[in-house]
Amino acid sequence: MFIEAIAGFVASIVLVACLAPPDADVEGPTIVASTLYKPRTVEVEVLPRVVIEFSEPMDPAGFGPGGLVIAPWEEVGECRVDPVCERGSCERGRCLEDPLSSRDLDMIDGGAYTPEDAIVPLRWTLGPGDAGEDSRLEIAPLRPLTPHWRYSVVVGGARDRGGAPLVDEEGVASRWRRDLVTAHEGSSGPEPRLVEPASGAAAVPINLQRVVTSFARPVALDGDQGGEVSLVLEDSRGGLLRLIEPRGCAAWPAEFCLEWRPERALDPSVQYRVAGGTLRDRHGRPATRPGASDWFATSSAADTQPPTLAGATVELRGRCVYGRVQAQEPLVVSLSLASGAQVSVFEEGSLTLALRLPDDGTIAPGDALEVTLDARDLAGNAAGEVYTVAAGDSFAAPPLVISEVLGNPAGSEPGQEFVELVDRREQGAAVIVAGLQIADVGWEEVAASLAEDRPGDAIPEFSTQPGQRTVIVGSGYVWGDPADPDPAEAATVVTLDSSIGEGGLKNAGEPVSVFINVPAGDPVLVDSRGAPPESLADNGQSVVTSPLPALAYGCDRADGWIPHPQGGSSPGLTP
């Protein structure tokens, strides 16, 4: 009996030894391909689709919510002048630093990294790839990323179906990490920005008549759109409402701004945001939900009352007409001439609009000019007033506009400072300009001064023709200064007997007025500008007159100055 038992045991050992060994998977999976094929990939679309190919099928349970991360880098300074950062890397003028510590990475490996305010909401899918089922991972953010920004994409805790962890080329267990730097806004399709109603607007009437959206890149309204062109408004409860019948905005190129009609009344007391649609850009990419969540909130009822224009004023100063309105609610306010020229602004509070009258010689001193001021609220209720103003002596003066000012030169001060004038005529003969004065004070101070102590320096006589740029410099100006460019050869250069203004122009910026001094009467305004913002006073960088809106070019507006587009100055040249 005992011998039989031993024989049976030996037989069982022999039988087991004869069976094939188990097919155990002891090698970890690797990543064989990825759309982010470099440690740092630049100019990636703002709504990227990151695709990763594994060497074998993967376990879906290895991709937990805290184990897949798209993390934005943190801004720690700027590098516009010197593209070197003490910490992190320089990306489009900003110093950005890696936000993920060693502890953060360990948490990602364990699927436990959950700081919602520090990571990008995303979706992922695991599907069939070159190595079979569940061997291809796709990761995408739920909304566009910030343009020109650096992000880290990290995959931690991934394992195959046998439980073996992800390994690198050396066979060592490792997480996968790549960095990307995004391209411009709209690189994945149009991202509608709310213009009207404005982002954050409250108490928007439910009978809203139109929604205005702008775009950073051109959209396409012509050609085959595959059906009706529309956008979608999403409310805070998940409901959807279409925006239809797009048309171009006044004073905007249609490719960059569109007005839409809501297909029905909005619901009361909810929030709305634009959430994509069938509108496409020139490359055929459909609109996406914007990277920034721009919401507006509706009121509880419709608005049926027209806006009030009580206290509104219209005045003519020089060659510009100004309309001022105190808006008690968000209004579209328009200032227009009988010729059809019109400028509009959408805002609430204290509003000022400016419209330059024609420089073609059709208006003479004493002519009566009809100006209309209109206002429309979000519900389409409207009000308007017509004003008559008389053209003054400025229409006998040459149509010169202050086009560029350098108050903080890189070279010597005040020697290298200049003020540039441009002749706004499109055609006509050359004319001699005499009797001009320039002062570093506002027009109100010039107009209030007595003739004998009126501020300003005499500008020597010069000739100007349509489109001509005239550069005014002080007596200490030095040609060939290497720190600042010389005036262009085609420009007229006029040198004063002193510095420009009282001891030169302030680095932080100050008003500039050009006028004709009439000893026995009131001065005649040629052009006057308020001080530019101090933020524009970079060393060696001039300020130029904003080209938009074109119909207000040459008028004294709060937003009328912009920094020189090339970051320097260009006396005598179009910037």
Alpha-carbon distance of 484 to 478, in angstroms, equals 10
Res 26: pLDDT: 67
b (16+ CB within 10 A) / e for 158-167: bbbbeebbbb
What digits encode the pLDDT tens for the residues 430-447? 999 999 999 999 999 998
Classify residue 378 as left (phi > 0), alpha (psi -120 to 50) or beta: alpha
pLDDT above 70 covers a percentage of the chain that reads: 93
C-alpha 52: how far from its chain's center?
Answer: 33
pLDDT reported for residue 118: 67
> Are the C-beta atoms of residues 276 and 351 closer than 8 Å to each other?
no
HSE-up (13 A, CA, CB side) for residue 143: 15
Strand-pair category, 271-277 with 512-516: unpaired
Percentage of residues of the chain with pLDDT beyond 90: 74
SS3 118: coil
Q: How far is CA 84 from the centre of its chain?
A: 25
Q: How many CB atoms lie within 10 A of CB 120?
A: 17
Closest residue by Cα to residue 205 from 274, 295, 303: 303
Query: How many secondary structure helices (H) and strands (E) does the chain include?
Result: 3, 37
As given in the structure block, the two tokens for residue 503 are 């001891």
- pLDDT tens digits along 351-389: 999 999 999 999 999 999 999 999 999 999 999 999 999
Q: What is the pLDDT of residues 214-248, one digit of tens each?
A: 999 999 876 444 568 999 999 999 999 999 999 98
| Beta-bridge mates of residue 126 | 137
Helices assigned H by DSSP within 343-428: none
**193-297 is a CATH 2.60.40.1220 domain:** yes
Domain boundaries defined on the chain:
31-182, 193-297, 313-394, 397-563
Tokens 């003066």, located at residue: 397
> What burial class does residue 396 get, using C-beta atoms within 10 Å of its C-beta: 0-12 exposed, 13-18 middle, 19+ buried?
exposed
CATH of 313-394, one of 1.10.3720.10, 2.60.40.10, 3.10.400.10, 3.80.10.10: 2.60.40.10
Q: Tell me if the bond preceding 414 is cis, omega within 30° of 0.
A: yes
pLDDT at residue number 3: 46
Cα–Cα distance measured from residue 219 to residue 13, given in angstroms and rounded to the nearest whole number? 77
pLDDT at 16 over 60: no
Nearest to 203, CA basis, from 276, 88, 303, 116: 303
Token pair, residue 173, equals 């267990």
CATH number assigned to the domain covering 31-182: 2.60.40.1220
Helix, strand, or coil (residue 534) = helix
- Lowest-confidence pick of 10-14, 281-285, 308-312, 402-406: 10-14
| Average pLDDT for 528-535 | 90
Residue 457 has pLDDT above 80, yes or no: yes
Mean pLDDT of 255-283: 94
* Token pair of 221 as six digits: 């309204």
Q: Which two tokens stand for residue 540?
A: 């060696």
Q: Which two tokens stand for residue 231?
A: 């956008």
Would residue 274 be called left, alpha or beta, if left means φ above 0 and alpha means ψ between -120 and 50 degrees?
Answer: beta
pTM of the model: 0.75
What pLDDT does residue 519 have? 79
Q: Phi and psi of 204, rounded to 5°? A: -70, 130
Q: What is the pLDDT of residue 181?
A: 96
State which H helix or E strand residue 5 sits in: helix 2-18
CB atoms within 10 A of CB 89: 18
Task: Say whether 193-297 and 31-182 share the same fold.
Answer: yes
Q: What is the mean pLDDT of the chain?
A: 90
Q: What confidence score (pLDDT) does residue 387 get?
A: 96
With 50 as the cut, is the pLDDT of residue 14 above it? no
Rounded distance, CA 291 to CA 286, Å? Answer: 15
Tell me: pLDDT of 6 over 70.
Answer: no
Residue 5 in this model has a pLDDT that exceeds 70: no
What is the rounded CA–CA span in Å between residue 450 and residue 523?
10
Highest mean pLDDT among 46-60, 100-114, 288-302 belongs to: 46-60
Write out pLDDT tens, residues 302-320: 999 999 998 999 999 999 9
Q: What is the 3-state secondary structure (H, E, C) of 415-433?
A: CCCEEEEEECCCCCCCEEE
Strand duo 40-44 + 176-182: pairing:
parallel
Asked if 408 and 540 touch (Cβ cutoff 8 Å), the reply is yes
| pLDDT above 90 for 22 | no
Residue type, 385: E
Q: Number of C-alpha atoms within 13 angstroms, CB side, residue 456?
A: 30
> What pLDDT is attached to residue 250?
74
Is the bond preceding 563 in cis, omega lying within 30 degrees of 0?
Answer: no
Instruction: pLDDT band for 458, please (50, 70, 90 cuts).
Output: very high
Instruction: For residue 71, give every residue at least 6 positions away whose Cβ sits within 8 Å of its Cβ, in sequence order, or none.
Output: 99, 100, 118, 119, 120, 151, 152, 154
| Cα dihedral: 311, 368, 343, 319 (round 10) | -100
Contact 59, 161 (CB under 8 A): yes
* Inter-residue contact 88 to 95 (CB < 8 Å): yes
Under the phi-then-psi rule, with left for phi > 0, alpha for psi from -120 to 50, and beta for the rest, what region is 308?
Answer: beta
Which of 345, 499, 323, 328 lies closest to 412 in space, CA to CA? 499
Q: Cα–Cα distance between 95 and 81 in angstroms, integer?
A: 12
As a whole number, mean pLDDT of residues 57-61 equals: 94
Q: Is the pLDDT of residue 121 over 60?
A: yes
Q: What does the pLDDT average to over 175-182? A: 96
